[in-house]
C-alpha cells in the first residue's frame, strides 16, 4: 500500500502527535499537538477526530486510516489536470499570486492562512508554484532529502 519512505514519514508524523510516547494517539495527544500549533480546539472537534477511528489509534491504525483517506483521493493525473486548467502558458507552474487568488475565491474556498501554508510547504520557486511536483507530493509524499 505504501512505499518504505512514506511509512517512515507516517511514523515521524505519528511520533510527533503521540506526545506522551505511549504508542497510542489519544485526545490529550491531539490537544497538545494542536496547542503546539497555536490552535485551541473544542472538545466536540477533538471528539469528532477521535471518532474517525474504530478503536485506539496505534501506528497500525494510523497507517490504515491514512490508507483509506488516500485511496479516496483523485489520481495524480486528475490533480495535475485540474491545476493545468489555470496554467495559461502550459509551463507546469502557476504564479503564486494567481494561485492564491484562485484558491481563496473559487470552489471550496480556502483561507489566506491555508493557502500560505500550501505555498510555504509546496514546491515554489521565484514566485512559481510547480503544480506537477505538488501533484506528485500529494500522492507519493515529499522526496527524501537524504
- Grid coordinates standing for 41? 480546539
Which CATH code, of 1.10.238.10, 3.90.76.10, 1.10.1330.10, 3.30.450.20, is assigned to 76-140?
1.10.238.10
- What is the per-residue pLDDT across 31-51, written as a single tens digit (0 to 9) for each? 888 888 788 888 998 888 888
113/13 Cα distance (integer angstroms) = 21
Rounded to the nearest integer, the mean pLDDT of the chain is 84
Average pLDDT over residues 18-24: 91
Where does 18-144 have alpha helices with state H? 27-36, 43-50, 59-71, 76-84, 96-105, 112-121, 131-140
- According to CATH, what is the number of the domain 4-71? 1.10.238.10
15/70 Cα distance (integer angstroms) = 20
Buried b (16+ CB within 10 A) or exposed e, 118-141: bbeebbbeeeebbbbbbbbbebeb
Amino acid at each position: 500500500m505504501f512505499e518504505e519512505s512514506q511509512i517512515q514519514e507516517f511514523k515521524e508524523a505519528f511520533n510527533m502527535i503521540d506526545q506522551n510516547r505511549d504508542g497510542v494517539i489519544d485526545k490529550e495527544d491531539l490537544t497538545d499537538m494542536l496547542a503546539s500549533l497555536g490552535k485551541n480546539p473544542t472538545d466536540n472537534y477533538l471528539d469528532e477526530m477521535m471518532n474517525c477511528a474504530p478503536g485506539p489509534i496505534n501506528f497500525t491504525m494510523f497507517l490504515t486510516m491514512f490508507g483509506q483517506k488516500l485511496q479516496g483521493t483523485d489520481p495524480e493525473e486528475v490533480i495535475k489536470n485540474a491545476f493545468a486548467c489555470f496554467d495559461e502558458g502550459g509551463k507546469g507552474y502557476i504564479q503564486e499570486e494567481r494561485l492564491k487568488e484562485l484558491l481563496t475565491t473559487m470552489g471550496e474556498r480556502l483561507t489566506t492562512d491555508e493557502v500560505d501554508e500550501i505555498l510555504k510547504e509546496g514546491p515554489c520557486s521565484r514566485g512559481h508554484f510547480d503544480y506537477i511536483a505538488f501533484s506528485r507530493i500529494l500522492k507519493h509524499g515529499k522526496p527524501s532529502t537524504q
